[in-house]
Amino acid sequence: KKRNPYEEEFHQAVEEVATSVMPWYLDHEKYRRAQILERLTEPDRIVTFRVSWQTDSGEIRANRAWRVQFSHCLGPYKGGLRFHPSVTQSVLKFLGFEQIFKNSLTGLPMGGAKGGSNFNPKGKSDNEVMRFCHSMMTELHRHIGEDVDVPAGDIGVGSREIGYLFGQYMRLENRWTGVLTGKGCAFGGSAVRKEATGYGSVYFLEDVLKQHGEEIEGKAIVISGSGNVARYAAEKAVAKGAKVLTLSDSDGFIEVRDGLTVEQLEFIHELKEQWRGRISAVADEFGGVVYHDGAKPWGVSCDVAMPCATQNELDVSDAESLIGNGVIAVCEGANMPVTADAAHLLRDRGILHAPGKASNAGGVAVSGLEQSQNATRISWSREEVDRRLREIMKSIHARCVAFGEGKGGKVNYVDGANISGFEKVAEAMLAYGVV
């Protein structure tokens, strides 16, 4: 904490991993002697730069951007770019650190990184977003490459932003290469990439429930967010026969007493992707949908909670409400959405808790598959990618079970994901010597 002052999110992420791995780490002298944990908490490098751009009315703006290249022990750096006013170096360090273990869990050759900017895309025109992305890539292109570092999307960075970033990379480098993932399917993107994080988290939830003698069909699920992850988690949950009761955005949440329908979800996809509208519009459009302004959805009674918006969005009082209402599992679609205290409470009360680094790894897994398709100039069918995604999520679940012995016959997914993800990186670091 002294070495990284004011980096609260980063401290939180490191503490969570360290708490899980410490007993196991102390048991393995070879890792301890090589100072693996200590070395892993220091990123390989952080690039910080200014992004200057012009508004439609001709005013000049300057934002700050970063790329945190954390570890490339297992493969080229890989991790998303986030555009949100709350982005700081601490947030990107926490995300980059988590990404190392998440990518390790997928079994694919990918290192850990994250990047982004405090640029707020909300309320900006397409042209303003384009000018920002072009300006950002003008610096970023020096630090990335298909065998070096392959960014993707995250909060505020979807297919529109990836298109603008990729266009500028090609212009600067004069070559087509799979340097970004999450591209449109017309220009090298993979089938199922945009759905992958949400679908993958529901596949993981399905395995968690099955492992504990439950099934997803008929379960009442409360989901936060209405972005890429939340909407496709909802879509897959509905397809599996679950009842999705809520979705939200930063203004409030909608409650659908009978469960979201396919028709409502189609409306929400269009609302968010094309009109960039607010979730409250769903209540104006459909009967039986109630909008709660300025509130979070965790007070709604459910079997499963899926936080899919942002970090630390579910705190102790939210966890108490969920437990009081009989929740059996919390499956993270977002990264670190549960505060440290709330996570302890869930564990102490025996609630199944799937951490994002395991349950939301489907997105980066399909990004890895996009890299493979780009490298071989082949495009796999939707069925083929979905089949591989399902298998990867199954194998991540199996690794969590193998490493996450919990109390009362329940799997401790937080420990399982942390130790399993850590072990592979530690082995690679030992093999490389002191680097």
CB of 154 to ligand NDP, least distance (A): 5
- Subset of residues 336 to 365 that bind ligand NDP, contact rule: CB under 6 A: 360, 363
- Residue 405 pairs in a beta bridge with 411
Beta carbons of 231 and 269 less than 8 angstroms apart: yes
- Subset of residues 254 to 313 that bind ligand NDP, contact rule: CB under 6 A: 308-310
Give the Cβ contact number of residue 278 at 10 Å.
Answer: 16
Would the annotation count 197 as a binding residue?
A: yes
Q: Which of 12, 159, 177, 250 binds ligand NDP (CB under 6 A)?
A: 250
CB of 325 to ligand NDP, least distance (A): 21
Q: Is 115 in the site for ligand NDP (CB under 6 A)?
A: no
Rounded CA separation 376/385 (Å): 15
The count of chain residues that interact with ligand NDP, using the rule CB under 6 A, is 23
- Residue 151 pairs in a beta bridge with 79
Rounded CA separation 318/321 (Å): 5
| Contact mark string toward ligand NDP, 189..228, x via CB under 6 A | --------x---------------------------xxxx
Candidates 4-12, 43-51, 61-69, 149-157: pick the segment binding ligand NDP (CB under 6 A).
149-157
Rounded CA separation 293/287 (Å): 17
Nearer to ligand NDP, 71 or 106 (CB): 106
Q: Is 332 in the site for ligand NDP (CB under 6 A)?
A: no
Known catalytic membership, residue 240: no
Which residue in the list 30, 93, 114, 183 is annotated as catalytic?
A: 114
Q: Is 151 in the site for ligand NDP (CB under 6 A)?
A: no
Q: In what order do the strands lie in the sheet with 252-256?
A: 289-293, 252-256, 243-249, 220-224, 304-307, 329-331, 352-354
Rounded CA separation 98/335 (Å): 8
> 39: closest CA among 381, 362, 433, 311?
433
Give the active site residues.
Answer: 114
Residues that bind ligand NDP (CB under 6 A): 86, 153-156, 197, 225-230, 249-251, 308-310, 333-335, 360, 363
